[in-house]
Amino acid sequence: MLFSGTFIRHMGKATPSSGFTDLSCEALAKGLHTAMVHNCGNSRLDKPAGQCDCMRLVFPAMAEMIAVIGDGAMGTLSAIILAQNGQRVRLWSAFAQDAKRLASARVNEKFLPGHPLPDNVEISSDDRSVFAGASLAVSAVPTQFMRQVWQRLSPHTPKKLPICSVAKGIENGTLLRPTQIIADVLDGGRADRPLASLSGPSIAPEVARGLPATVTVAGSDQTFAEKVQKLFGRPYFRVYTNADLVGVEIAGATKNVIAIAAGILDGMGAGDNAKAALVTRGLAEITRLGLALGAKAETFAGLAGLGDLITTCVSPIGRNRTLGEAVGRGMSVEHAIKSARGVVEGVATTASVVELAGRHKVEMPITQAVHAVLFKNVKPAEAVAQLMSRPVKPE
């Protein structure tokens, strides 16, 4: 039910929020935000936001329809956050069987188990109707699959529909960033629609539990970036804006390569000193690439760069670090990829980053070492030895 102002629903009647103090379930709504405040003894960290029996949603007066393309972890998380904020969400899956299963279970057991979808999320695999009534779309498709998905949806995508990407990668072959892929497929590479990238340290299972996280959104249009900021902002999910779209996307992609290296060190038992050196020098080389591509250095010192790099290099559930750890322990790259739960973006991105670095004459020794392990059958210990034996120079 949609309310025309800031109201809560309690015992079958709507009550103005100014008189909520005697109710067993309290809520405050501000702007586009749907507040969900516990008053039953559960703290926000004890139970995932939106899953406590005492909670009730408060919808804004003018809820938008938002199409989320892709039903992986980030697509599902995006749908949950937007729905918690009172928006109507249509979560699209590329596969009809997956959509049917998700619509029945109302939980994405494969990619985000334990976190039910709010009632205002509908599931679809219908290409023709996915954008019906949508005011914007969220692209949550892994980078290497974006082109084929948006080519499939292109005949049904409204012109000028704003799109925000949450993918982190660089396309093989074209070396395009996610928003560039969307523009290339839908608009022939022209800047015909507002595009944005939401990025930063945001491990999906943690955010879904309501644990504090902070990210940034950069866009080709500042007004659109600010709109995404408002739509995604939650009490536990703070969103900043950033004017550097190139930097945010390059940082988000390249940190995955360094995360694979971090995992390799973990698997080898190389220790904390080695990990600290890796993160520090890894940040230096991905910043060099970003600057060569026109990004700003401060972006790599912010949430999309250093922030996401730290999370990805230390999180025990991050896919890129986990794959690297398996390889560092002796598992073959092929077996590690097959064993991964979902797409490990950093593997394909490594090949793209090496090509970009060569094209722009940027020195990236750590990335080159990861590439050698992933694609040239170089043993992790040999790759580390080669890095440590490079000629010495000023820092």
Q: Which amino acid is at 47?
A: K
From residue 46, alpha-carbon distances to 37, 50, 76, 208 in Å are 13, 12, 21, 12
Q: Can you give the length of the chain in residues?
A: 395
User: Is 115 within 8 Å of 79 (Cβ atoms)?
Assistant: no
User: Is 217 within 8 Å of 164 (Cβ atoms)?
Assistant: yes
Give the position of tokens 């220790």.
271
CA of residue 312 relative to chain centroid, distance: 12
User: Is 66 within 8 Å of 87 (Cβ atoms)?
Assistant: yes
Q: Of the candidates 278, 253, 364, which has an alpha carbon nearest to the alpha carbon of residue 328?
A: 278
From residue 256, alpha-carbon distances to 38, 319, 323 in Å are 36, 9, 11
List % helix, strand, coil for the chain (3-state, nearest 5): 45, 15, 40
Give the position of tokens 């190389």.
270
Q: Is 255 a catalytic residue?
A: yes
- Alpha-carbon distance 294 to 2, whole Å? 45
Q: Strand runs (DSSP E) across the chain, as ranges?
A: 7-10, 13-16, 29-30, 33-34, 65-69, 88-92, 107-108, 112-116, 121-124, 134-139, 163-165, 195-199, 213-219, 237-242
The two three-digit tokens of residue 289, written as one number: 């690439």
The two three-digit tokens of residue 166, written as one number: 């949450």
Among 100, 255, 361, 379, the active-site one is 255
Show which residues are catalytic: 255
